[in-house]
């Protein structure tokens, strides 16, 4: 199996990554040279196209367009430096060819970044020249005949052989091949570094010098002395001597979330701004270094383990954030073990990066979401390369046996079925790709054909003009989904329950259309294949509210996810402190009852922000900042909520008791409490 990191490192050479270099599955019998050349060709055509369009948009010379592109790139990862080096080496030839009205296909074939091997079809993105291809190519070669660098691709050079890129290549190689954080001092598979498989992918380590401290473990001695599970709760309440971890988390059923997936689960994404000349600016590539060191994935925004807010303005949160919201004892307990090109067949090569101990750690919800690459490949004869149902069954059972030996009892494993990818061609083939929007010269049908020709398509079966092939691919996907469904129904394991969920793409489309969206907007615009963030947030929201689990165990899991993780009495005080500190809703009686927004104060912020969220709760008090209207501005807003939105059964006498429990430090607040309660009591009496 060819490692994807070598294909990935084509990126610094061409300023921007090739479209599918990371997301395409790789194959045992495909030569390394052929596959690498395919992505190199895509990268060349992409970058030359961008240069040509930059010159057109800004009415500049080709030289000016190349310099403009380099000026946009950040210094990190030597991207700007590499860009200028490439200009110095290839710029003069690119200028000559573009000035002679040669398109990007001709330029890249002339410079031999693209090749037409004997007996193979000619691969091109743009329409062929009006004159014969052979004549046009020969004319272009005569233009750069004396160029000393014409034979680049035949020299066998490797971009990673450059001294200033060697160390970067090594870091990327190790991080991708092992699927564990490269920067991990204590080797516990958790890191304090965000990218290179760091905490963008799994919970942030809170002590990288102690391998016994990591997210998701059961607390060591109730975390009296240190935060052993990195959820921000440790120490002892000085009032009663009870450890905070025991007080807030005992009985709350903490669960981690683990994703076993492919590029869709890792949230593969190429920003349209990176290839759209009319949208490029100095800010366009700010996120590029982060994206490159995350393999062009954005797990921090993914539907399963994302912990950052959506960038498209959709309110649904990831599954991890939903679990976190219902039980803050789950803080940082997430693992995104997804990989570009992953399938049931190659999962065994990186599943050992999973971090879970049957005795030391909390149970987990594991989502098995290999939703594409068992039916998707880039081969011209794609059907024989698809995973058969029999092989798929064997692969999945091997994975389940591994999970059963590593997951604590009480865990759950959820299978996602495979989608029907005929949606791609039906909704995109006649639309213009971002690279073709300026001149209306590149459709998704042309892009699909180009990638299929080079055998670097992420899914030849669905990204094809051949309707019969698209149908066969969907039939195989349905067969594999039925295999998962049978396994979930029949197989039993000691440490976890099995559940199956359909990949309800049609329901997702309907939900998106209800919101005024168009179906094609659910697909990544650059690669024309991956589901984008809109689809991710819709699907993860549907998962958490789904009623499709109609069997008894499924109903139990749905109920557990939706109800049992709601804060219990012991977690509410800490939850309230956390939520107040971040200006979110807080309620002492549960999230569905008389909630009020409480504004932050310095005291409440210190509650969790000091020392990275590990300061003892004795430094704060659950009574919040001033709020309300009119006379209510003189009242603590939490008290205002108690008075106006108190739940049934909560008497004024119990609220008065809370007032009396305030210590001397809060004497003025106590006076306000008593005056207010006296006034309310009098009004009620008169009434």
The catalytic site residues sit at 263
Question: What Rg do the C-alpha atoms of the chain give, in angstroms?
Answer: 29
Residue keyed to tokens 């479209």: 19
In sequence order, which ranges of 431-565 are alpha helices (DSSP H)? 444-454, 467-490, 505-514, 533-545, 552-559
Tally of CB atoms within 10 A around 667: 10
Location of structure tokens 């948009």: 57
Q: Are 153 and 115 a contacting pair, CB within 8 Å?
A: yes
Supply 214's token pair: 């990591």
Q: Which residue has the tokens 């969206």?
A: 517
Cα 208 to chain centroid distance, Å, stands at 24
Side-chain half-sphere exposure of 420, counting CA atoms within 13 A: 14
Q: Phi-psi bin for 553: left (phi > 0), alpha (psi -120 to 50), beta? A: alpha
Residue 184: count other Cβ atoms within 10 Å of its Cβ.
19
Buried b (16+ CB within 10 A) or exposed e, 477-507: bebbbebbeebbeeeebebbbbbbbbbbbee
DSSP state of 511: H
Sign of CA dihedral 241, 242, 244, 248: negative
Dist CA 20 CA 38 (whole Å): 10
Sole residue written with tokens 């599955």: 25
Q: What does the alpha-carbon distance between residue 34 and residue 12 come to, in Å, rounded to a whole number?
A: 20
Write the CA distances from 139 to 85, 92, 104, integer angstroms.
27, 17, 15
The closest of 303, 331, 159, 138 to 232, measured between CA atoms, is 331
* Cβ atoms of 517 and 433 closer than 8 Å: no
The Cα–Cα gap between 330 and 410 comes to: 15
Phi, psi of 467 (to 5 degrees): -65, -35
Q: CA torsion angle for 591, 596, 599, 601 (degrees, to 10)?
A: -70
């Amino acid at each position: 199996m060819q490692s994807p990191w070598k294909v990935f490192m084509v990126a610094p050479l061409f300023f921007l990554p090739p479209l599918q270099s990371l997301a395409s599955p790789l194959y045992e019998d495909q030569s390394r040279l052929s596959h690498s050349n395919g992505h190199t060709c895509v990268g060349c055509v992409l970058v030359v196209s961008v240069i040509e369009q930059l010159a057109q948009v800004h009415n500049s010379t080709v030289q000016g367009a190349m310099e403009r592109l380099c000026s946009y790139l950040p210094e990190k990862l030597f991207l700007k430096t590499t860009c200028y080096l490439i200009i110095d080496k290839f710029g003069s030839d690119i200028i000559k060819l573009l000035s002679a009205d040669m398109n990007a296909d001709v330029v890249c074939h002339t410079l031999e970044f693209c090749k037409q091997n004997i007996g193979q079809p000619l691969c091109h993105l743009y329409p062929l020249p009006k004159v014969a291809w052979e004549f046009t190519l020969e004319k272009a070669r005569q233009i750069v005949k004396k160029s000393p660098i014409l034979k680049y691709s035949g020299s066998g050079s490797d971009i990673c052989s450059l001294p200033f890129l060697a160390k970067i290549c090594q870091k990327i190689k190790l991080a991708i091949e092992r699927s564990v954080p490269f920067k991990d001092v204590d080797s516990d598979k958790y890191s304090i570094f965000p990218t290179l498989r760091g905490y963008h992918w799994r919970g942030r380590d809170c002590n990288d010098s102690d391998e016994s401290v990591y997210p998701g473990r059961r607390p060591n001695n109730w975390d009296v002395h240190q935060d052993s599970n990195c959820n921000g709760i440790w120490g002892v309440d000085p009032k009663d001597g009870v450890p905070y971890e025991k007080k807030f988390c005992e009985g709350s059923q903490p669960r981690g979330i683990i994703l076993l997936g492919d590029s869709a689960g890792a949230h593969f994404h190429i920003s349209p701004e990176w290839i759209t000349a009319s949208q490029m600016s100095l800010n366009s590539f700010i996120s590029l270094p982060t994206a490159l060191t995350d393999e062009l994935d954005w797990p921090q925004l993914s539907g399963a383990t994302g912990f950052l807010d959506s960038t498209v303005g959709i309110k649904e949160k990831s599954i991890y954030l939903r679990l976190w919201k219902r039980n803050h004892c789950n803080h940082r307990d997430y693992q995104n073990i997804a990989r570009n090109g992953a399938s049931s067949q190659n999962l065994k090569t990186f599943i050992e990066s999973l971090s879970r101990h049957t005795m030391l750690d909390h149970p987990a919800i594991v989502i098995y979401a290999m939703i594409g690459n068992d039916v998707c490949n880039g081969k011209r004869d794609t059907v024989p390369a698809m995973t058969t149902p029999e092989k798929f069954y064997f692969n999945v059972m091997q994975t389940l046996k591994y999970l059963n030996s590593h997951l604590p009892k009480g865990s759950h494993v959820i299978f996602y079925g495979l989608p029907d990818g005929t949606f791609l061609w039906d909704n995109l083939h006649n639309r213009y790709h971002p690279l073709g929007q300026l001149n209306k010269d590149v459709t998704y049908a042309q892009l699909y054909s180009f990638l299929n020709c080079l055998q670097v398509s992420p899914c030849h079966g669905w990204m094809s003009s051949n309707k019969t092939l698209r149908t066969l691919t969907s039939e195989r996907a349905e067969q594999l989904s039925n295999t998962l469904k049978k396994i979930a129904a029949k197989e039993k394991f000691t440490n976890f329950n099995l559940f199956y969920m359909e990949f309800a793409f049609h329901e997702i489309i309907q939900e998106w259309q209800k919101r005024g969206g168009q179906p094609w907007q659910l697909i990544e615009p650059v690669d024309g294949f991956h589901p984008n963030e809109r689809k991710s947030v819709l699907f993860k929201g549907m998962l958490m509210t789904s009623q499709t689990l109609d069997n008894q165990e499924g109903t139990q899991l749905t109920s557990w996810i939706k109800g049992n993780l709601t804060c219990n009495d012991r977690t509410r005080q800490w939850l309230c402190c956390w939520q107040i500190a971040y200006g979110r809703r807080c309620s002492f009686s549960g999230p569905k009852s008389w909630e009020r927004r409480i504004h932050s104060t310095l005291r409440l912020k210190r509650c969790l922000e000091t020392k990275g969220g590990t300061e003892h709760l004795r430094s704060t008090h659950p009574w919040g900042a001033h709020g309300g209207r009119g006379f209510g501005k003189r009242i603590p807003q939490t008290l205002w909520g108690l008075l106006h939105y108190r739940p049934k059964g909560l008497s004024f006498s119990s609220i008065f008791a809370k007032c009396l429990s305030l210590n001397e430090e809060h004497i003025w607040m106590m006076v306000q409490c008593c005056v207010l309660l006296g006034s309310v009591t009098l009004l009620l009496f008169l009434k």
